[in-house]
Chains A and B, each alone.
Chain A
Amino acid sequence: MALLELRDLNKHFGGLHVTNSVNLAFEPGEIHCLIGPNGAGKSTLFRLILGEHQPGSGDIFFAGDNITHLKSFARIARGLSVKFQVPGVFKGLSVRQNLEIALQRTHRAAELDREIDRLLAFLGLEAERNQTAGNLSHGQKQWLEIGMATSLKPRLLLLDEPTAGMSPEETFQTGEMVQRLNAEGMTVVAIEHDMAFVRQVAQRVTVLHLGQVFAQGSIDEIVADERVAAIYLGQAHHHA
């Protein structure tokens, strides 16, 4: 059974059909990358999955349950978690406090400190423990938020452009982080533009275009697909 399944999902913004009859299944244990040109509807799809938008029609199933009408926080409680596109850390609070707030809902006070230490080590942010999160570098903010999202021990982790603004080196480290989480059993769905990252981590790739599922397969299959190249080129042509 798929861990997350989208059935005939539709979403309109005015006359714009941003999610167009999307049927997608994410299997437990996989790392699945969503790619597609700007405006393909990738982030909207995340917002539908998280309950920030309500679909016009269609259903969302998580671990076999229909969660289409659940509130966002209730979906998180069931085992979804997300890292946003724009780093969503609590800027005015310390790194430690950011993690504490993420952890305190599911952890007892006695376990908090140990778990915070473990996460700081995992993220390579030990030295920044008492730093104000707003003062971190862009990449560190991304990592901190990934840490907050994973601290919930979700069954499914959604990552919206986890490597945006990162150096190639940082991107590679992020890829390793994602692979380690996956090895512990976490299913990961990532929206990503960075093809090096996709190549590094993706076990399956879905291409979205104009709100529809355009192609699906391994990274090699996708790269070899001339139609996929055409939509990216078409987009580039459009911009030029």
Chain B
Amino acid sequence: MSLMSLFHHLEGPQTKGRGPAFWAAFGVALLAALAYPLFSDGYTVGNTAYFFVWVFIALSLCLIWGYGGALSFGQTAFFGIAGYGYGILTLNFGAAYGFTLIAVLIAIAIAAVVALLLGYFMFFGRIEGVFLGIVTLAVTLMLERFMAQTAGPEWRIGAARLNGFNGMSGMPPITIPWFDGPIVLVADIGLYYFILALVIFVYLGLRILVNSSFGNVIVAIRENPERAEMLGYDIRKYQLINFVIGAALAGLSGVLYTAWGQYITPSSMGMTSAALPLIWVAVGGRSDLTSTLIGTLVVLAGFQALTIYGSQYALVVMGVLLVLTVLIAPNGLVLGAMNVIGRIGARTKRERP
């Protein structure tokens, strides 16, 4: 596939937003995100980077559930596997010579391999619909239970103590080797730009993916798996590849989360952690990448504000938000709003030819 046709797929039937108006808005948002650290302090910027950490797991769920029609509760499992993976690797081998970057890749690869095995049995075993959700939820809760009982000193991998419910900590942040000394990406402006670059790369990459012929088959499977298979597609293979890509993205979130706070606990794979991405994605609009991206950041920021002012109620509000979304805009609030804007835009165009 030529480079031009890659860019051509940045727009397409599977993504909202096209034409100069959309890309101008994208450019403005990007500039604002790039300029934002100039008007803030490192601590606040580092906290904002924390929101961006979660974008990848949200987009992974958008890809698997929204586009592929397979409800996965297991994204947190891959988040946890990659997070712990990064911790175990870097606690053992340190941060010198850019090893943290290699650890990021290995940790994501481990999550992807686990997804490949699990996905093989699910999709080639023709597990469908709600049962996919049950199996994936069982896997993530099992992992949580398992990690929670690793408090004893015998639970160690090399130098890395798993440390049970209290979690693993003290792993080095992502460290980039540089000419005049390595750049250590603690939760500050440097890490913010690092994660922002990843967000943009992954967002644009996924736009190309879902508008490609691969994406066509993925949405076809969501719409009618039998028809898709009877057009000659081995749908199990497509579902599996999509699931593995999603797991890798969830793993990226897990690694960045662990590197950001230099700790990870079993509760990152618990019930609450498994449910929250579902809420972000459902509220934003699961069948569109842009809606998911915006929805996730808005809901996360709102959740953070609520946690500060009344920590007990934040989760309850999340639940209410989900119920309201399902009742008012089942396809997502952001997606609904974008559709309205699109219709108004189309109407004004018709009136002023």
**Chain A interface residues (CB < 8 Å from chain B):** 50, 52, 71-73, 76-77, 81-82, 84, 88-94, 97, 100-102, 104-106, 109, 145, 148-149, 152
Contact = CB atoms under 8 A, between A and B. Distances in A.
Contact of A90 (B220, B230, B233): B220
B11 to A, nearest CB: 14
Interface in B197-241: 213, 216-217, 219-220, 222-224, 226-235
Given A76-B230, A84-B227, A94 B13 contact: yes
Interface of B: 5, 13, 213, 216-217, 219-220, 222-224, 226-235
B232 A90 contact: no
B227 A90 contact: yes
Contacts of A50: 230
B229 A101 contact: no
Contacts of A145: 227
Given A72-B229, A81-B230, A90-B219, 17 more contacts: A52-B226, A73-B229, A73-B233, A73-B234, A84-B226, A88-B226, A88-B227, A89-B224, A92-B219, A93-B219, A93-B223, A97-B13, A100-B216, A104-B213, A105-B233, A145-B227, A148-B227
Most buried by A among B13, B217, B219, B231: B231
Most buried by B among A52, A102, A149: A102
Contacts of A106: 232
A106 B233 CA distance: 11
A88 B230 contact: yes
Contacts of A152: 231-232
Contacts of A90: 219-220, 223-224, 227
B100 to A, nearest CB: 41
A38 B129 CA distance: 30
Contacts of A82: 230
Contacts of A104: 213, 216
Contacts of B231: 76, 101-102, 105, 148, 152
A73 B232 contact: yes
B240 to A, nearest CB: 14
B6 to A, nearest CB: 12
Most buried by A among B213, B223, B228, B235: B223
